[in-house]
Amino acid sequence: MTRPFREFSEFEIAAMDDEQLLAYILRARAAAAQAASDHGVRHLVFRHMDTVRAMVRKRIPTHLVDEVTHDAMVSAIKSTFDGEHELQFHKWLAVITRRQIADFYRGKAGKLLELDREGAGKFDDQGNVRVERASLDDTTLELDELIEQVLATRSAIHREVIDLYVFGGFSAKEVSVETGESPDNVFQIAKRFRDELRAALEAADRPPSPDSDPETS
Amino acid sequence: MSTVDDLFGAFRTAFRERGDVDPHEYLDQVSGTDRSELEALIDGFLATGPTRAFDEAAFARFQADPLAQRILASVGVAATAAETWATLLPAARERAQIKRSLLVERLARALGVSGRERKVAGYYHRMEHGTLEPESVSPKVLEALSAIVDVSVERLREAGRRMAPPAAGGMPAFARAIAASPVEYSMPAPGPEAPADEDAWDEVDELFCGG
């Protein structure tokens, strides 16, 4: 016998992780509890909107940030409820956001450019969108691949250490409790990652030597 | 000059405290490989899916954000939930630009219990956090609040009816989630506990718990 659906309080919803929240929303939908489902979605968007907006802000001209953020959030939520992936929600959201940013630079996001035609001073004489050179630089997109390359050689546990200690800002002691690695080992894993990342970034920033340019050889 | 680690730490703290942060404010302070490294660290942090700890006032502000409203509308959800005290009171207080301490002072005066602000603050805190039984709150309290935050008594009453206090055992789960979060959650002071000399049932208890 199926358990009847129970609408959770604000506090109970806040205590759920993303996957529990998504399951709650699906149960609410199955029980035709529209208000509960809607409120769950509000919490989901509340939790992640600023993260997506920050990811987009790094790479998209300011006046188009909200458009790309909107499209990424909507696409991720709809595809999640359509069952199109099995990733954790925040990971899927990151994938979708990167795709939206890449689409923008590939010129597929024509509607965004159309929207911008209303903005005075944002176009050059030929009607092309005028944006800062730096924000269009491909290196920002290549950075994702570079980080992934450096991380790819790490074991799952070392990646977790890096996520928590380097990116998350937890102390070595806290990461030790979470992962079982000693605090000293946590520090060493993090240091090796930072050193390799720095070396890879320096190599990427270095201008290619004339010998390596196929057009001059 | 700020180092990459200093700037990354500052970005992370700002993001956890206020959410809507522009990475360029930090990236623009360094150049060359330092900038690339800071960018990589910010990317890595954002990819871990840092989520905002729940906070009533922040949630109310979020629901008023035009971008949030557009996103929610695009997935078929109305932006604003049915009002409860937990959403209405912090938003109304913010709109009226009244600090909680001042609101409590005025509320105590309006109810004729000046000098008992600490106890009134405890009860008001519970109203904002949905842990006070709405039916037990006297109409006098709603009338006084109405005048202070400029929200009709009827609207306050309706919002209260929609709010059911968490069942016993509900709060520890919430507390665990807060403890597990790297985000510091500061419960507004003072808390619901009254000092020992205020334990005795008095007119303040009657106003907030006597119905």
Residue with tokens 């959201």: A93
Which chain A residues touch B41 with a CB distance below 8 Å? Answer: 166-167
Closest CA to A29 of A7, A14, A50, A47: A7
How many whole angstroms separate alpha carbon A187 and alpha carbon A95?
Answer: 29
Q: For chain A, say whether B73 makes contact (Cβ under 8 Å).
A: no
Per-residue model confidence (pLDDT) at position B13: 92
Per-residue model confidence (pLDDT) at position B198: 61
How many whole angstroms separate alpha carbon A39 and alpha carbon A16?
Answer: 13
User: Domain residue spans in chain A?
Assistant: 10-206
Q: Give pTM, 2 decimals.
A: 0.62
A18 with B41: Cβ contact below 8 A: no
Q: Are A187 and A172 in contact (CB under 8 A)?
A: yes
Q: For chain B, say whether A70 makes contact (Cβ under 8 Å).
A: yes
Per-residue model confidence (pLDDT) at position A118: 43
* pLDDT above 80 (res A108): no
Q: Which of A94-98, A141-145, A201-205 has the highest mean pLDDT?
A: A94-98
What is chain B's mean pLDDT, rounded?
A: 79
Once rounded to an integer, what is the mean pLDDT over residues A191-214?
78
Closest CA to A162 of A205, A195, A202: A195
Amino acid identity of A204?
A
Helix %, strand %, coil % of chain B (to 5): 60, 0, 40
* Mutation for testing the A interface, residue in B15, B37, B71, B131 having most A CBs under 10 Å: B71
Q: Determine the distance in angstroms separating the CA of B90 from the nearest CA of chain A, rounded to an integer.
A: 15
pLDDT tens by residue, chain B, 211 residues: 469 999 999 999 999 888 889 999 999 999 999 999 999 999 999 988 887 778 777 888 888 788 888 899 898 887 666 677 877 788 788 778 888 899 999 999 999 999 999 999 999 988 887 778 888 899 999 999 999 998 888 888 878 876 655 444 333 333 333 333 333 223 333 444 444 456 788 999 999 998 7
Per-residue model confidence (pLDDT) at position B80: 66
Tell me the two tokens of residue B53: 């700890």
Secondary structure class of A123 (helix, strand, coil)? strand
pLDDT band for position A210 (cuts 50, 70, 90): low
Q: For chain B, say whether A102 makes contact (Cβ under 8 Å).
A: no
Per-residue model confidence (pLDDT) at position A119: 42
Residue A156 exposure: Cα atoms within 13 Å on the Cβ side: 0
A38 with B67: Cβ contact below 8 A: no
* pLDDT above 90 (res A208): no
Residue with tokens 């200690």: A165
Cβ within 8 Å of B, A 13-32: 13-16, 18
* pLDDT above 90 (res A189): yes
Task: Look up the ipTM and state it.
Answer: 0.77
Give the other-Cβ count within 10 Å of A184's Cβ: 10
Once rounded to an integer, what is the mean pLDDT over residues A79-91?
86
Closest CA to B159 of B177, B176, B145: B145
Rg, C-alpha atoms of chain A: 22
How many whole angstroms separate alpha carbon B166 and alpha carbon A81?
Answer: 28
How many whole angstroms separate alpha carbon B116 and alpha carbon B151?
Answer: 24
Please give the share of chain A, as a percent, with pLDDT higher than 70. 77
Centroid of chain to Cα B146? 19
**pLDDT, greater one: B60 or A170:** A170
* pLDDT above 60 (res A66): yes
pLDDT one-digit tens code per residue, B121-160: 999 988 887 778 888 899 999 999 999 998 888 888 878 8
Once rounded to an integer, what is the mean pLDDT over residues A191-196?
94
B130 with A9: Cβ contact below 8 A: yes
